[in-house]
């Protein structure tokens, strides 16, 4: 956290921390612009931008047409010429029309122009399942963007981290995909400083110290993983829970150091298993800490299928019982 004089705190939900973070950065820097569908007068579909239009006006909080490619493309132009736009995509499942703009232009602008231009922008999108939404509203495709050089990918799991990581993302000189786990938008509250502060990108957080097995996770999966770890402690299994927070650049040092301590690992994410980041984390362990490995790395993930509708939604998401089974498999091997 950056050094500062703090005047107080508020007990905020995660979505309120998003709004507070946006407000603080817009107040601090006149170049910060918010744009997207219904972000202005309506305050956003989840009310993450509520009140910003009234405070900063229609030149800095811009309601756009329903056109994701246009939203991101416009933001790239703004960023190239000195602004710091924060475009919102209403749901991650709607981000695909903007994919070309993100990976072909935002991510490559600095290298394509040999440093003449950059794209300091933050693409915000609620992501993940669990809220009984229709098709395309529950996607968890963070691996798409982690695979693209030139992009940073951030996923907070607490209100405190949300505000601090968002500030860091907005101040970053390059494009950041900032994915907000909407399942926990209003699931709990946490004390968040009123003043502006930053949480560094690229640094994981150990949420629970442990000696028997390392469990790596992020976003909405941190809470069920912590619940599973607490219940396993009663069985005598001491799990360390590491919240990666930033998926690109990934904190490989934190992954390796935790694994060297335990020799066993599980990775929990709600995205499909095949091509998911659990595979990348496993490869990092193999490359950097193989002599310490005592068991195969367990992957507790979503399924290789389109995200289901209401009746099967809870079954698709990793929940504490399935997470406990994966951790037990890692600990009890061979």
Pairing between β-strand 9-12 and β-strand 190-193 as defined by DSSP bridges:
antiparallel
Q: Whole-angstrom Cα distance, residue 204 to residue 257?
A: 11
Are the C-beta atoms of 183 and 41 separated by less than 8 Å? no
Query: Alpha helix locations (H) across the chain?
Result: 14-28, 52-56, 68-80, 99-101, 109-112, 142-146, 159-171, 222-233, 252-262, 277-289, 310-316, 320-332
Q: Whole-angstrom Cα distance, residue 30 to residue 84?
A: 9
Residue of 136, 137, 147, 269 with catalytic role? 137
Written as six digits, the tokens of 1 are 């956290």
Three-point CA angle 241, 247, 253, nearest 5° = 60
Written as six digits, the tokens of 70 are 């246009």
> Strand pairing partners for 232?
none
Neighbouring CB atoms inside 10 A of 311's CB total 7
Task: From 86, 241, 307, select the one nearest 177 (Cα to Cα).
Answer: 86
Examine the residue annotation and report whether 147 is marked as an active-site residue of this protein: no
> Strand pairing partners for 179?
125
Written as six digits, the tokens of 154 are 């951030």
Enter the DSSP assignment of 51: T
Which residues lie below 8 Å from residue 159, measured CB to CB, with a gap of 6+? 12, 13, 14, 16, 17, 189, 190, 192
Active site residues: 137
């Amino acid at each position: 956290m950056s050094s500062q004089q703090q005047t107080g705190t508020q007990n905020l939900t995660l979505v309120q921390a998003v709004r507070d973070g946006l407000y603080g950065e817009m107040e601090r820097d006149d170049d910060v612009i918010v744009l997207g569908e219904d972000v202005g007068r309506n305050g956003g579909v989840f009310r993450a931008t509520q009140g910003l239009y009234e405070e900063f006006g229609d030149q800095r909080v811009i309601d756009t047409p329903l056109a994701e490619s246009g939203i991101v493309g416009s933001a790239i132009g703004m960023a190239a010429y000195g602004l710091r736009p924060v475009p919102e995509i209403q749901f991650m499942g709607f981000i695909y029309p903007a994919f070309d703009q993100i990976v072909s232009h935002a991510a490559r602008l600095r290298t394509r122009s040999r440093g003449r231009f950059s794209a300091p922008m933050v693409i915000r999108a609620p992501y993940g399942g669990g809220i009984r939404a229709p098709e395309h509203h529950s996607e968890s495709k963070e691996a798409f963007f982690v695979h693209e050089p030139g992009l940073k990918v951030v996923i907070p799991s607490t209100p405190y981290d949300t505000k601090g990581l968002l500030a860091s993302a907005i101040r970053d000189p390059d494009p950041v995909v900032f994915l907000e786990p909407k399942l926990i938008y209003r699931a709990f509250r946490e004390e968040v400083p009123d003043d502006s502060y930053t949480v560094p990108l690229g640094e994981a957080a150990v949420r629970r110290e442990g000696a028997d097995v390392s469990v790596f996770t992020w976003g909405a999966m941190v809470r069920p993983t912590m619940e599973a770890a607490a219940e396993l402690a009663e069985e005598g299994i001491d799990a360390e829970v590491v919240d990666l927070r930033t998926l690109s650049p990934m904190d490989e040092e934190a992954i390796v150091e935790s694994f060297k301590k335990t020799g066993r690992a599980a990775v929990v994410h709600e995205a499909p298993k095949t091509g998911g980041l659990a595979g990348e984390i496993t490869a990092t362990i193999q490359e950097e800490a193989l002599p310490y490995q005592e068991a195969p790395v367990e992957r507790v993930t979503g399924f290789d299928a389109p995200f289901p509708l209401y009746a099967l939604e809870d079954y698709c998401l990793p929940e504490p019982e399935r997470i406990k089974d994966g951790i037990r498999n890692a600990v009890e091997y061979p």
